[in-house]
Structure 1
Amino acid sequence: MIKFHRLYFLLFIFFFFNINNSFGNDKIAIIDLDTVFNNSDFGQALLKDIEKLNQDNISKLTSIENELKKSEQNIKNKKNVISQNEFDKELASLKNKINDYRKLKKEMVDKIEQEKKIILKKFFKEINPIIQNYMEKNSINILLERKNVFIGKNNSDITITIINEINNKIKFK
């Protein structure tokens, strides 16, 4: 029985130490997609569109907010002059305007978020073939996002190269 256990033990040790290590020849590269989006000419043009829409929304909201503040101050000034019933009506009207303002603000924020999603989808649709082509030319098998990599060699980072490729291949209006 002891010899039988020794035989199993020896077979286990033999297989354990005889396992071949896999030394992959896959070339891996790293890319920072946020930097590509923010620093490529195409990405910056798309960001300008979002920023313009955002600035327009901010100016509209600021204008409405100023009107609401004026209305509130006007109601406060009239408080002791008008009847309680009139005051309550004006206060209810102001609350309705504030609710409308909040709804409009939420709609604008949702629209901006939706627009960002559309723009990001468009951006990645355009750059994907460029990145695929670059990977094929340079025999890169795996491309990892920078934020998902703890540490890597600097020569593995192809972010700047991809930005230059995008700037050369995508012409925008």
Structure 2
Amino acid sequence: MNFFKSSLFIVLFFITKINLVYAADNTAFLNIDYILNNSNLGKSIVVELENLNKSNVKKLDKKEKILKEKKEKIDKTKNISSKEKFREDVDKFNKEVATYRDEKNKILNDFKKLKKKKLDNFLEKISPIIQEYMKNNSIGIMVEKNQIFMGNSDNDATGKIIELINSKL
């Protein structure tokens, strides 16, 4: 009888400690970056941001080139001009450099804010479409593809989502 109780205890112990995980088939994944770069709405956002960034870079490069030319001019007059005139020129140049840095930081911060706003707006617009797709296809969980180590390609909903986004937006 003692053997029976100990055997029963061991069996019950292992049954309660074994956790069986059943993966549901109602899980899918998608690649948000791919959707952004390949949907019509996403492409327009990417192109707009790239154009703005190129414009900002051109503007900053132009000002940086002017500052380099001024620095070279100051360096050339270093031995020719008086110490006071040279200090004035250096101080004036340093102020211009500080102004340039402030302007550059402002442009970069404004671009980051705009980029975040545009991407948040994009995600806000596609979210109902993804939710509708999940509802229509009985999908319980939608996961970002970058967060998955390995998955069945049949569960990749990226292409279907892009088609829905292009047709609805």
The two structures have a TM-score, normalised by structure 2, of 0.90
Q: Deviations over 1:79-128 (max 9, x none)?
A: 12210110011011111111111111111111111111101110011000
- 1:169 alignment counterpart: 168
Aligned to 1:10: 8
After TM superposition, the structure 1 = structure 2 runs for residues 29-68 of structure 1, keeping only pairs within 5 Å, are 29-68=28-67
**Number of positions where the alignment pairs a residue of Structure 1 with one of Structure 2:** 168
CA distance in 2, matches of 1:157, 1:166: 16
Q: Contact (CA 8 Å) 1:26, 1:142: kept in 2 or not? A: no
3-state SS, counterpart of residue 102 of structure 1: helix
Gaps of 5+ in 2: none
Contact 1:29/1:144 (CA < 8 Å) preserved in 2? Answer: yes
Return the alpha-carbon distance in structure 2 between the equivalents of residues 126 and 112 of structure 1. 21
Q: Could you say which residue in structure 2 is the equivalent of 1:97?
A: 96
Give structure 1 stretches of 5+ with no counterpart: none
The 1-side partners of 2:166 and 2:99 are apart by: 43
User: 1:75 Cα shift?
Assistant: 0.7
Give me the whole-angstrom Cα distance separating, in 2, the residues matched to 1:168 and 1:11.
61
Give the drift of 1:8.
5.1
Q: 1:140 is paired with a residue of what secondary structure?
A: coil
SS at match of 1:122: helix
The residue that corresponds to 1:27 in the other structure is 26
Q: Once the two structures are aligned, what percentage of the paired residues are identical?
A: 32
What is the Cα deviation at residue 23 of structure 1? 3.6
Q: 1:108 to 1:9 in 2, by over 3 A?
A: farther
Normalised TM-score (structure 1): 0.88
Spell out structure 1 runs of 4+ moving beyond 4 A.
18-22
1: CA distance, partners of 2:165 / 2:115? 20
Within 2, Cα distance between the matches of 1:62 and 1:14?
73
Aligned to 2:129: 130
More displaced stretch, 148-157 vs 49-58: 49-58
Partner of 1:155: 154
RMSD, aligned α-carbons: 2.1
